[in-house]
Amino acid sequence: MNSPDVRRLSEGIRLFEEYRGRLRQLRDKASRLSEFDVLIVVGEQAVLEHLELQLNLCRRLLISAPVEGNDANFLDRLEYLVRQSGWSVLEEVEARLDEKEDIAAVARREVAAKLAIWSGIAGRVEEAGRQIQLRRLRIAEPRRLTTSRDRLTALVRHATISFQENRYVEVWQALNELERAPAHNAVPLTEVPSRLETLVRRASPEPLQLTVLRGEAMNDNIQYALTLQTPTGDQYVAVRALSTNINVQLGQERFARDAQLVSPREVQDHVDAVLSSTMDLSAGEDRLSRLREVGRILYRKLIPIPMQDVIELHPGVPLVLTSNDRSLAWEFMAADDFVALQRPLARLPVGHSRRRRSYSGDLPSHRRQVALVGSAGTGKHLSAVEREVKTIHDGLTSAWSEEADVKVLLTGTNRPANKEDFERVLVSGYDIIHFAGHAAFNERKPGLSGLLFDDEKCTAEDIGPLIGGAPLVFLNACETARHGDEPVFGQEGAFQIDPWEGLAAAFLRGGALACIGNVWPVVDAVAARFAIAFYSHALEGLPLGEAIRLARRSVAQRYPKDPSWASFVFYGNPAFTLAVDGKAVRSW
């Protein structure tokens, strides 16, 4: 082969190797960009495939080259293949792919940034879920919040997997879905974690359980046996129960005098005087201050320091009190301030252990069924009952028109509140039953205590077997939460936990979610304000103990000289919620 032919062959092979290397790089780049499926690289791939065919022709030509290399036709064909005009678009294709790669890099960074934001939002949701499991919280999660939470979690998971696999069309579709405006009344996805975090903050942990059993007065002292059990959630190492017997170091006469100051009857006299303006306002302030002082004395005398330390170690944790000493209004018990205003305070009946009736079944409609029952007994004070029922009805229908159906049964109307109709309410499975009127407490036979309807009485014995569902029961009637005024003792000073029980215990054991009663009469304006505040918080999904605490604070702030907030006694588990345990879910 002469020198010109050698140069032609050498140049042909050089171009062949150059094009083969550039094509390999461009194929890799086009392959990466094709995974970024938003960018269209079909045209560039078609050009590269055509050039690949030309390159294969060159490869086959070189493989079949003459041994001596002196075939002029061979060199002509080689030179034609490596110098044809098709190779001139190689630089253009390379430039276009470089430009699209820059666009892809920018888009990838933008997608990564948006995905990081949504991943952070989903992470907050997961953390809230972990807290719920870790602390064994009872969360009343509204149905629409649950739907939005599931949608958020699924979309973020899908976007993350698609991003890892470079399926950016699917990533963008998921991000657009996440950012889309919510449907009417739906929870915006950006608000899901804050809503869940609010529920976690509001959720009630396991309560402290304090049992205070009073014995007979001995040697001018009063003996008590106390047990305090700490919460049992996972954040506690173990169940801790403190038990002790103490003698209250106050002479019986002095203790009785101080105890009388916070007894229901004495407090009622004070309330009547303040509200009727027969008592000087400054005297009213002095009396309430005195109630706080006596509450502190009782707290410090009745509860030993080790138990006080445990209680104060768990600020805000509900306190459930079980006691056979009902001569005291325990809601006035005070540490720095009244305990009932600082943390959820609930009571449980004392007596023979009985199984609480419970009901199972499908969840009912998310619209709550509320029954407002107003009866003045023999017709006395009907106007006050009407005002209370109307005020509560207007308040609930105004604020909760889409979530609650409120029905009214009122003495003297075409839907009267009589014993027969009230029994129908009990068996109908209402979510909330509110009774405004009068009640009678039978000290000799508490089972005959009852709510008054005209000349009839619906007794505790009548009520228990009739309750359907798990209603939240509010009895705004005098003595509905009352038990015997004196403790009951067994032989030789032993504690007999079988006190007289009234209506509250009958409702609880019949299956009611909780029962609220009052231990002295409260004027209708205060009672209605308290009830509306309580229902509003309960319908939001707050634990019932926290709902009643906030209602107490609302009344205490509105009527600072009136201790009526302490008349309302909550019986039941303060961690229960209307949404979870009452089988109703609010629509957000």
Sheet of 450-453, strands arranged across: 439-440, 450-453, 456-459
In 203-326, which residue ranges form alpha helices assigned H by DSSP? 252-261, 264-275, 281-302, 305-313
Query: What integer is the mean pLDDT of 251-260?
Result: 53
118 and 75, same domain (yes or no): no
Confidence check: pLDDT of 210 > 60: yes
Q: What is the 3-state secondary structure (H, E, C) of 72-129?
A: HHHHHHHHHHHHCHHHHHHHHHHHHHHHHHHHHHHHHHHHHHHHHHHHHHHHHHHHHH
420 and 504, same domain (yes or no): yes
Look at 25-34, 476-485, 515-524 and tell me which has the smallest mean pLDDT. Answer: 476-485
**End-to-end Cα, the chain, rounded Å:** 90
In a domain, 277, yes or no: no
In a domain, 239, yes or no: no
In a domain, 299, yes or no: no
Query: What integer is the mean pLDDT of 221-245?
Result: 65
124 and 32, same domain (yes or no): no
More confident residue, 462 or 136: 462
Percent of the residues in the chain that have a pLDDT greater than 90, as a whole number: 12
22 and 110, same domain (yes or no): no
Asked if residue 569 lies in contact with residue 502, where contact means CB atoms within 8 angstroms, the answer is: no
- Residue 237: CB partners within 8 Å, gap ≥ 6? none
30 and 148, same domain (yes or no): no
What number of helices (H) and strands (E) belong to the chain?
Answer: 18, 14
Tokens of 163: 């991003």
- Residue 559: CB partners within 8 Å, gap ≥ 6? 526, 565
- What total number of domains does the chain contain? 3
Q: How many CB atoms lie within 10 A of CB 525?
A: 15
pLDDT for the residue numbered 586: 34
189 and 126, same domain (yes or no): yes
Asked if residue 155 lies in contact with residue 178, where contact means CB atoms within 8 angstroms, the answer is: yes
φ, ψ at 222 (rounded to 5°): -120, 130
Confidence check: pLDDT of 1 > 60: no
71 and 127, same domain (yes or no): no
Query: What integer is the mean pLDDT of 340-365?
Result: 66
- DSSP code at position 277: T
- Choose among 521, 61, 493: nearest CA to 271: 521
pLDDT for the residue numbered 530: 92
More confident residue, 278 or 379: 379
Q: What is the mean pLDDT of the chain?
A: 75
376 and 415, same domain (yes or no): yes
Confidence of residue 543 (pLDDT cuts 50, 70, 90): confident
Q: Would residue 51 be called left, alpha or beta, if left means φ above 0 and alpha means ψ between -120 and 50 degrees?
A: alpha
Distance CA 102, CA 259 (A): 82
Confidence check: pLDDT of 474 > 90: yes
Confidence check: pLDDT of 310 > 80: yes
**Of 171, 202, 233, the domain-final residue:** 202
Confidence check: pLDDT of 542 > 90: no
From residue 1, alpha-carbon distances to 35, 66, 81 in Å are 49, 11, 21
Query: What integer is the mean pLDDT of 183-201?
Result: 81
Confidence check: pLDDT of 166 > 60: yes
Look at residue 577 and give its three-state secondary structure.
Answer: strand
**Domain containing 544: what range?**
368-572
In a domain, 261, yes or no: no
More confident residue, 382 or 64: 64
- Choose among 525, 549, 528: nearest CA to 537: 549
504 and 562, same domain (yes or no): yes
Distance CA 504, CA 300 (A): 28
Distance CA 308, CA 290 (A): 21
pLDDT for the residue numbered 157: 93
**E-assigned strand segments in 160-305:** 208-218, 221-229, 241-248
425 and 540, same domain (yes or no): yes
pLDDT for the residue numbered 316: 78
Task: Give the CATH number, domain containing residue 427.
Answer: 3.40.50.1460
Confidence of residue 443 (pLDDT cuts 50, 70, 90): low
Distance CA 149, CA 196 (A): 9
pLDDT for the residue numbered 482: 41
- Choose among 460, 424, 420, 439: nearest CA to 378: 439
Q: How many CB atoms lie within 10 A of CB 85?
A: 6
Confidence check: pLDDT of 18 > 70: yes
In a domain, 270, yes or no: no
**What's the full length of the chain, in residues?**
588
pLDDT digits (tens, 9 = 90+) for 484-513: 444 333 333 322 223 335 788 888 888 898
555 and 501, same domain (yes or no): yes
- Residue 109: CB partners within 8 Å, gap ≥ 6? none
Q: Return the ∠ at Cα 568 (arms to 202 and 434), rounded to 5°.
A: 85
**Of 186, 202, 218, the domain-final residue:** 202
- Choose among 580, 409, 397, 433: nearest CA to 506: 433
Confidence check: pLDDT of 425 > 80: yes
More confident residue, 272 or 57: 57
In this structure, which amino acid lies at residue 336? D
Look at 72-81, 441-450, 489-498 and tell me which has the smallest mean pLDDT. Answer: 489-498
Confidence check: pLDDT of 584 > 70: no
Asked if residue 532 lies in contact with residue 394, where contact means CB atoms within 8 angstroms, the answer is: no
Tokens of 454: 């005209």
Confidence check: pLDDT of 213 > 80: yes
Percent of the residues in the chain that have a pLDDT greater than 70, as a whole number: 73
- Long-range Cβ contact pairs of 93-97 (< 8 A, separation 24 or more): 93/26, 93/44, 93/47, 93/48, 94/22, 94/26, 96/44, 97/26, 97/29, 97/30, 97/33, 97/41, 97/44
pLDDT for the residue numbered 498: 30
In 136-202, which residue ranges form alpha helices assigned H by DSSP? 143-164, 168-179, 192-202
Distance CA 367, CA 151 (A): 23
In a domain, 411, yes or no: yes
Confidence check: pLDDT of 346 > 90: yes
In a domain, 312, yes or no: no
74 and 107, same domain (yes or no): no
More confident residue, 67 or 201: 201
Query: What integer is the mean pLDDT of 19-30?
Result: 79
Confidence check: pLDDT of 140 > 50: yes
Residue whose token pair is 């974690």: 193
Q: Return the ∠ at Cα 177 (arms to 173 and 180), rounded to 5°.
A: 135
Look at residue 311 and give its three-state secondary structure.
Answer: helix
**Of 183, 202, 221, the domain-final residue:** 202
In a domain, 318, yes or no: no
pLDDT for the residue numbered 516: 92
From residue 184, alpha-carbon distances to 133, 140, 181, 399, 588 in Å are 31, 21, 9, 18, 10
In this structure, which amino acid lies at residue 68? E
